[in-house]
Amino acid sequence: MSKGELTAYLVSTLDTPIRPGERDREWMDQTQERFAYRCLPLIMGNMLGWDILCPVSFEARWNGGDAPKATRIKFDGKESKGISSHFGHGIVTFSLDYLFRTPKGHNLIVKGPPNRFKDGIAPLEALVETDWTPSTFTMNWKFTRKRMKVRFTKGEPICRILPYPRNYIEQFECKIEHIADNPGLYEEYMAWRRSREAFNSRLGNADPGAVMQGWEKDYMVGKRPTGEKAEQHQSKLRLREFEG
């Protein structure tokens, strides 16, 4: 397997498509003047990874008990054997269609679709060693409220996957220092802070130039307070589609 190759081996035919993470969110569309899209880190988080989509539409309800039967699942049409309350304790389990393979030394982060919300239920996150295991994994959501109906719709994202180098996070040496001990960074920080405070003041006073600009765009374009461009900057992610 070549470096950078992510393979999804089909093991069933439940029809759970995979697609690159999408930029937009309905709740972001509904913010005033769509201001949420001014936050580049949020947009990048929306796109980071691939989404596995729900194969059918259904409603689920948990009565608060621990047994699997304490969660009732009602499908809009034909029942899907890949969606169940396998573990009990208010957990809805999605059996996925795939056995994933990552390059040697790479795990797969398995989590809920980022910056999407469901009232009453939350996605569980996992880290799977997909470079060697011959087994599949499930995606699980746990109820946070009793006796509340939660709806999943066919085609909505239910799972986000992204490769992750094994032991990567453990390489970091972590420390806390005062920013004043780093004079260069401190000067840049203070320049940014003064600029932000001045702009917000102008915006609060309905200064025409600030109102027209809307927000400071330095981070969006990868520019330091000095005007110097960052050596490396991303404003988009271009993930490849799964082929075959």
The boundaries of the domain holding residue 84 are 7-171
- Cβ(125)–Cβ(110) below 8 Å: yes
147 and 210 belong to one structural domain: no
32 and 107 belong to one structural domain: yes
- Is the pLDDT at 44 greater than 50? The verdict is yes
Q: Is residue 2 part of a domain?
A: no
Rounded alpha-carbon distances, angstroms, from residue 164 to 63, 107, 109, 122, 229: 37, 5, 6, 22, 28
- Is the pLDDT at 1 greater than 50? The verdict is no
Q: Within a 10 A sphere around the Cβ of 177, how many other Cβ atoms?
A: 8
pLDDT of residue 199: 80
186 and 154 belong to one structural domain: no
136 and 182 belong to one structural domain: no
118 and 227 belong to one structural domain: no
Domain boundary among 149, 171, 193: 171
Q: Give the model confidence (pLDDT) of 47-74 as tens digits.
A: 999 999 999 999 999 999 999 999 999 9
pLDDT of residue 25: 97
Query: How buried is 199 (Cβ within 10 angstroms: 0-12 exposed, 13-18 middle, 19+ buried)?
Result: middle
- Cβ(100)–Cβ(8) below 8 Å: yes
Q: Is residue 1 part of a domain?
A: no
pTM: 0.91
Q: Give the model confidence (pLDDT) of 107-152 as tens digits.
A: 999 999 999 999 999 999 999 999 999 999 999 999 999 999 999 9
Residue 154 structure tokens = 């066919």
